[in-house]
Chains A and B, each alone.
Chain A
């Protein structure tokens, strides 16, 4: 390892250092605000070191031993994940301050005001776990060896189990939140373990074929032979199944809604963005490194998974009344769209499409969860009657808090792929990639899925635009209101949703990014290229 390689490694080293430092500080001094500050500072320092590395990579990526490769592409992902983690930690801060992180669903149980302060809340550990998981993600996207891939994936995943089940150690005994969080964490653990088993078996088969675990070496060995060797193909399919779990592609998606719902919303945002993004990034890298795009079987499996995800995800989201579950299902569909571009990943255009869509997905999803999380915090503070996670809570939002509603509308429009948002350019990429490759069946699934998707995204927007003072005639034939719905806005306070300044800033930044990259996509495309 030479000095250059060591320097290329600085982001990972910095982040590890930050984690150890934070762990030590937390051991002696528990202060929520300080922890958040240190987390953000640590992320900022890591961002700085990442930016410092990038001039090194003007020409070639740097291989650090045989295990890691740092390229400009991986630096882009570093930045993306670091910034997402910063957003998540700010959301988490608000969530903990209001107690929504500890008790996502406040199902009417009596809660004493001082409850959280008499018992230890361990909220500082959340940031620690978040950073550890982030480290896993960063290691994962720069892996060039199956060992690092596995290590990164597991480091990311292990921290996630704890993040997801975080309310379980705090909430009142036998409360619904506790059960939900436990269930979410447990389901994720069990299914993740199963996925890991598939993944490992796949890796073992690939190793059995060539006796190599390094991507480049496998590619060299594969290029020397002719045709696709049996074990490599089967190994890749097994690997894909493991990956499909992590990406929650249908029919390996079962954990998604329960985990999204049960976990504290900031953790959900993290699962939906960074964890999935890292897996997609490494899959793209792995496939192009070992030349898997030429192999029929894995690609066909991926195509089938994409179609089922697009259709199943959108259909499942259609009737969903819980906003977190809705976003969970819609994320399944979005990863399905992304896979369409992924299948063209051999070409430069496909790679670009995948990365662009991924950025669009992460920015938008993060924004949507930020709105949900901050709204829930407000609802907890204001002690509203109805659950803030139900869609009906957003009824008339446009009139009560126009800025929040506008920003949420932008997120939803972006998810629906309407022009002038980042999501539109993403969708354009997907269509274009599909057209270039001539995947007609996949494209029709994209169109069909997006058409269904429009319905539930627009439904929320329409709900937000509804006037709060309006008398609600919910005649049975009316299309957009389902019969069993709780009668909405009347009981709600007519005041706007008030959000702390830092939360507002997070939303503003995300909305601006969403619009800026939607109107001037060339900037982002240049970065990707």
Chain B
């Protein structure tokens, strides 16, 4: 930055105050629309953009994207406040806010887009701006590597998504999302459906960090904490989730969809839960729990049961609140103490009571204790898991397993840093500024109190979303107390095991480490190995193809040309050749012999001059053939050109830095083969030419008219001096001009030499 530090910081303080108002605008707007949308109305606005391609710049608001948009702008407000405080005095705060604003626009545009291509554009906008945000503060090579990794993975996913969306658009006949939603049956019945599904899911899975692309999310924790709180909990990683939810009515309900989502989600949740417990870095721990949540949601979207969908939607809500506030809490701890290593933290509860409260409230939500929203969400999850048609045991098992470990992680986050001996020992540690803790406080409190206003949430947010997602009216009831049933028993089991796991955390971690040591590799390593392999392939290919040796280039070129010609010949159904020994006299055979001898000689001698001479003999042979078959003018030209060529080459050859006889001529089998193949193909082509009865209208014309019109028997002469007299004149002028310039050049050189 070119401005002095203090100046920028001053501007930053002002910006920190004003910037949160930016996401507040859409938030207020959304709240005004809430009532009407919850009743099932859909608002849309559209601008023509590229009409000739059928692309519109259009947006709409319905139950499903209202939920996402509300989350994005609400959490956006608090993250903006938090970021202003967290990065206070940072010399590039303004740039940071610019990126953040870009990202918010991208995210809101993504969820509100009513056109597939509009959606994709905002999708890529979030990718790019998130790269800028993740890479905002990194100086280390490893951090840069992670930023590049996240960028590469998500852009490659984006590429697949674009292909999938275009396929979907052309299959459905429109890019308008609302119309596509109505054509689900047609799309599912289309033969391209699997391709569309796979491509779009690849995009969604990379963005939402699903197995086997889950590794970029923890790696992206190099980002400043406000970024992690916003991007990696509530918004960007939910983009893939949103896409799956959005396209559920179009692509869902087929076995392929259900099994893919269920299995991928289950694997992601289970794997990430194990990895989360293993971590000791607070932020990384949170990152892995985010992956758990994303996996769980994906798993539930694999079904079309309304309870399962409601569970997923509720969980999206709950998760966004508690995860954003937990990230911010970790950020506060990091900010105030300078570390976020679990083992180096303790006893902060007395010093930072508000932070502790936030952490506790969020963790309770995360662990799913009653009577909070987290509990309802979890109950619903278990109920939904049991209702899933494909594989209830698998889903329920994965959900319970993941939740047990979530309880453990939640306990760790809420208790470990805050109780016990004070660590690190320092007198400077004190409660953070209000602007830091206000965000987590409000969000975690909201997460808690929502549990007490379940009808509002159920009817105002979750139900409209479920209804739009499934495309049919459903009643969603969120209740705190269901009576004693299977989900409740599962909940109790979860708590019990979770608490046990918390108490025996160290041995558990050691056990998991031991267990994981049997896995030979991680996805991260595989990715690196893939990249490395690709690079090596590129190296090998470069060495193999681009070696700089002209002779080998020519080899490839002739091979390719021969293959192309061969293909063309094979593709002809009406190709007929008649081969017979021609009746030639002795002089014609001699000329042919001369041609053949010249060719053999040219390819077998080592000295360049000898080869050129051999080629000259070949040329003379060809000229003789022309002569014998009635084209004396062509023969003369050929002879002249051959002679001139030979003289020129001979004159310049000795001045060229050529090495004679350094490599003995050996029989190059490959070259010989290629030459023979090329020769055969060209010969066939020539034979095909002979087959063609050739009649040129112009030669007929000259034959008929040379005598009556120009009174000449020699047609060539007549053409030159009568029919094409003006052309001949032009040619003469050209020759003279060339001679003049040559004379000038020669004169210039001579004068230069004399001087």
Contact = CB atoms under 8 A, between A and B. Distances in A.
Interface stretch (A41-49, A146-154, A235-243): A235-243
Given A230-B572, A231-B689, A458-B152, A257 B546 contact: yes
Contact of A435 (B125, B142, B166, B688): B166
A165 to B, nearest CB: 16
A516 interface: no
B659 interface: no
Interface string B122-150: 00110010001001000111101101110
Contacts of B152: 454-455, 458
Contacts of A250: 545
B156 A522 contact: no
B145 A301 contact: no
B651 interface: no
Contact of A458 (B49, B117, B151, B528): B151
B564 A237 contact: yes
Contacts of A420: 121, 125
Contact of B685 (A234, A304, A459, A471): A234
A190 interface: yes
B156 A451 contact: yes
Interface string A216-239: 000000000001111101101110
A352 B156 CA distance: 26
Interface of A: 187, 190-191, 194, 198, 205, 208-209, 211, 227-231, 233-234, 236-238, 240-241, 250-252, 254, 257-258, 296-298, 300-301, 304, 312, 315-316, 318-319, 352, 413, 416-420, 424-425, 427-429, 431-432, 435-436, 440, 443, 447, 450-452, 454-455, 458-459, 462, 465-467, 470-475, 477-482, 521-522, 525-526, 529
Nearest to B132: A465
A470 B136 CA distance: 13
Contacts of B569: 230, 234
A296 B689 CA distance: 20
Contacts of A254: 545-546, 553, 556-557
Nearest to A420: B121
Nearest to B118: A419
Contacts of A416: 155
A252 B560 contact: yes
B677 to A, nearest CB: 15
A478 B142 contact: yes
A452 B565 contact: no
Interface string B262-288: 000000000000000000000000000
B545 A522 contact: no
B521 interface: no
B678 to A, nearest CB: 11
Contact of B144 (A237, A315, A478): A478
Contacts of B539: 319
Main SS of chain A's interface residues?
helix
B117 A198 contact: no
A435 B167 contact: yes
B688 A230 contact: yes
A343 to B, nearest CB: 15
B121 A233 contact: no
A237 B542 CA distance: 27
A318 B540 CA distance: 11
Contacts of A529: 52
B136 to A, nearest CB: 10
Contact of A297 (B571, B695, B697): B571
Nearest to B695: A211
A419 B568 contact: no
Nearest to A311: B541
11 contacts: A208-B692, A227-B574, A234-B568, A238-B561, A241-B560, A241-B561, A312-B545, A454-B152, A462-B135, A473-B141, A475-B142
A398 to B, nearest CB: 10
Contacts of B567: 237, 297, 300-301
A418 to B, nearest CB: 6
Contacts of B144: 462, 466, 478, 480
A26 to B, nearest CB: 14
Q: How large is the interface on B (under 10, 10 to 19, 20 to 34, 35 or more residues)?
A: 35 or more
Find the residue from B52, B531, B697 having the highest chain A CB count within 10 A: B52
A519 B152 CA distance: 24
A445 B531 CA distance: 18
A304 B564 CA distance: 9
Interface stretch (B157-165, B245-253, B301-309): B157-165
Contacts of B664: none
B534 A479 contact: no
B568 A316 contact: no
B106 to A, nearest CB: 10
Given A432-B53, A481-B141, A318 B568 contact: no
A168 B573 CA distance: 51
B148 A227 contact: no
Contacts of A455: 152, 531, 534
A315 B541 contact: yes
A454 B206 CA distance: 15
B139 A467 contact: yes
B507 interface: no
B32 to A, nearest CB: 30
Given A257-B546, A462-B144, 18 more contacts: A205-B689, A227-B574, A234-B569, A234-B572, A234-B685, A237-B568, A297-B567, A312-B541, A315-B541, A316-B546, A413-B128, A419-B124, A443-B163, A455-B534, A470-B140, A482-B535, A522-B51, A525-B50
A16 to B, nearest CB: 15
Interface of B: 49-53, 117, 120-121, 124-125, 128, 132, 135, 139-142, 144-145, 147-149, 151-152, 155-156, 159-160, 162-163, 166-167, 170, 195, 528, 531, 534-535, 537-539, 541-542, 545-546, 548, 550, 553-554, 556-557, 560-561, 564-565, 567-569, 571-575, 685, 688-689, 691-692, 694-698
B694 A211 contact: yes
Nearest to B49: A522
Contact of A480 (B145, B160, B685): B145
B102 to A, nearest CB: 11
A298 B568 contact: yes
A519 B139 CA distance: 34
A502 to B, nearest CB: 24
Contacts of A318: 534-535, 538
Contact of A233 (B151, B528, B572): B572
B148 A319 contact: no
Given A205-B685, A228-B572, A319 B557 contact: no
Nearest to B125: A419
A187 B548 CA distance: 10
A240 B568 CA distance: 12
A234 B697 contact: no
Nearest to B147: A462
A454 B572 contact: no
Contacts of A428: 53, 117, 162, 166
Nearest to B166: A431
Contacts of A477: 145, 528
Contacts of B128: 413, 418
Contacts of B550: 187, 190
B543 to A, nearest CB: 10
Contacts of A198: 561
Nearest to A300: B567
B54 to A, nearest CB: 9
Kindly list the 3 A-B residue pairs having the minimum CB-CB distance in the complex, ordered from nearest. A318-B538, A297-B568, A254-B553
Contacts of A304: 564
A373 B274 CA distance: 53
Contacts of A231: 688-689, 692
Contacts of B141: 472-475, 478, 481
A174 B392 CA distance: 77
A43 to B, nearest CB: 26
A457 B572 CA distance: 43
Given A257-B546, A454-B152, A478-B142, A316 B170 contact: no
A230 B577 CA distance: 11
